[in-house]
Amino acid sequence: MNQKTTIEFDLILLAAGNGERMGFKKQFATIGNLPIWRIALDQIRTHSSCKTVIIVFPKNADIDQTFFDENPDTMWTHGGDTRCISVWNALNFYETQSAQKPYLAIHDAARPILPHSVLDEMILKLEQGEKAVIPVLNASDTIKTYSSPYITGTLKREELVFAQTPQLFKTEIIQSTYKNFFSNKRSDKLAKLAFNPSDDSSLVELNGTKVAVVPGSQKMQKLTIKEDYNYLKYILEERFETRVATGYDVHKFRPWGDNERRRKIMICGVEIEHDAAIEAHSDGDVGIHALCDAIFGCLADGDIGSHFPPNDEKWKNVNSEIFLEYAIHKVIDARAKINFLDITLICELPKIGPERIKMKKRLASICNLPIERISIKATTSETLGFIGRKEGLSAVATVTLILPINTD
């Protein structure tokens, strides 16, 4: 579960490599109809602290602009011949953006699996005052130096770690570090790194900033050779199952009370002006109530009434977003992931069309889900029944959930 935090970061996602050791451009290889770069992107941008994203692609890549037009907080630029130049290009592009967060993450698309718990620990370090933090793994094997054909020394394993990404920095620090590196006034220490440092923290460290560490994860293994790709494909395609469930909710209208001044009802987290109020124990948001039931259905975990009894005064007039946030936490606790959600709103009034985009954006924010994975439709009952008589409204929701298969 994402921790409660005020830390927000923008992201540079590096996907500009040629995949020489892999034998093909791994970032465009697909698993489950999604390219690796999209899997990596979805893994990190669904964290509530991740905001604007810049993806770095090879110069000759054929990029479908549709995805980026539909996701205005996600942009792309071209990379260079080395990793270092790709980061530099992205930083220059980033500086043209009007809004920048105080922290910036740099992540390899070749590490498509990213547990949010690792990000949470990194953010905690930033909250404690650190200016640069990276995830690492302890060395488990004895590591030696050699000059072929003989061993020349043995390193202290307890002093060695393997650096992973994403790496998080104060934005001004990573920007100034790269400016120093690409200037003609680079220090001797930086010059000794040659022109292509293998990670960003090495530059930051040699530029005078201490780099903090948190435990990384074996799941964040970098795709380097074809066997890595085959293993990732096995993990993502063979050990997960897809579940689909529906939810339904209905509420009737009632006259507004004399002391009710707002004259607005809630539908899918958005306030809409309406001539009638909703008769309900909570705020009567049919879209969110139906969505919660669909999520609970995928998890085989009862219904909204079993989690939030309507006779409990604690939930009187409460904002239904609390119910949805609870359901999302249930998904996270199950190590599952919402793949797609669809809501059909059935009413004569109010008109849904003008509010559809607001609803999608609101649900995307609550569910930590890309907006293109949310569908909201509206229909009427052709004047038939209680809905046709404008006595109420209803909603049907369908959720597709990806859940780890229990192999215990």
The neighbouring-strand residues paired with 104 are 10, 169
Exposure on the CB side of residue 234, measured as CA atoms within 13 A? 7
* d(C-alpha 405, C-alpha 31), whole Å: 18
Which of 219, 238, 257 terminates a domain? The answer is 238
195 and 253 housed in the same domain? no
233 and 247 housed in the same domain? no
Per-residue DSSP letter, 176: H
Q: Is residue 388 part of a domain?
A: yes
* d(C-alpha 284, C-alpha 273), whole Å: 14
Which of 203, 238, 273 terminates a domain? The answer is 238
Per residue in 212-235, pLDDT (tens digit) is 999 999 889 888 888 888 888 877
263 and 122 housed in the same domain? no
pLDDT score of 95: 93
Distances (CA, A) of 197 to 191, 202, 276, 341: 10, 7, 64, 42
305 and 169 housed in the same domain? no
Other beta carbons within 10 Å of 385 = 12
Q: Is residue 332 part of a domain?
A: yes
Q: How many Å from the N-terminal Cα to the C-terminal Cα in the chain?
A: 23
| CATH code of residue 171 | 3.90.550.10
Q: Is residue 73 part of a domain?
A: yes
- Kind and range of the H or E run holding 181: helix 171-181
302 and 163 housed in the same domain? no
Per-residue DSSP letter, 4: P
Q: Is residue 232 part of a domain?
A: yes
363 and 260 housed in the same domain? yes
Q: Is residue 1 part of a domain?
A: no
**CB-based contact 397:342 (threshold 8 Å):** yes
**CB-based contact 76:83 (threshold 8 Å):** no
| CATH code of residue 362 | 3.30.1330.50
The answer to whether the bond into 149 is cis (omega within 30° of 0) is yes
Q: Is residue 175 part of a domain?
A: yes
233 and 286 housed in the same domain? no
Q: Is residue 4 part of a domain?
A: no
179 and 249 housed in the same domain? no
SS3 (DSSP) at 205: helix
Other beta carbons within 10 Å of 301 = 14
165 and 38 housed in the same domain? yes
pLDDT score of 407: 42
pLDDT score of 191: 52
49 and 84 housed in the same domain? yes
Which of 211, 238, 265 terminates a domain? The answer is 238
Query: Which range of residues forms the domain containing residue 74?
Result: 9-238
Q: Is residue 357 part of a domain?
A: yes
92 and 228 housed in the same domain? yes
Q: Full-prediction pTM beyond 0.85?
A: no
pLDDT score of 148: 85
pLDDT score of 408: 39
Residues of the chain with pLDDT under 50: 1, 185, 192-194, 407-408
Domain count, the chain: 2
330 and 360 housed in the same domain? yes
Length of the chain: 408
Label the pairing between strands 50-57 and 144-147. Answer: unpaired
pLDDT score of 352: 95
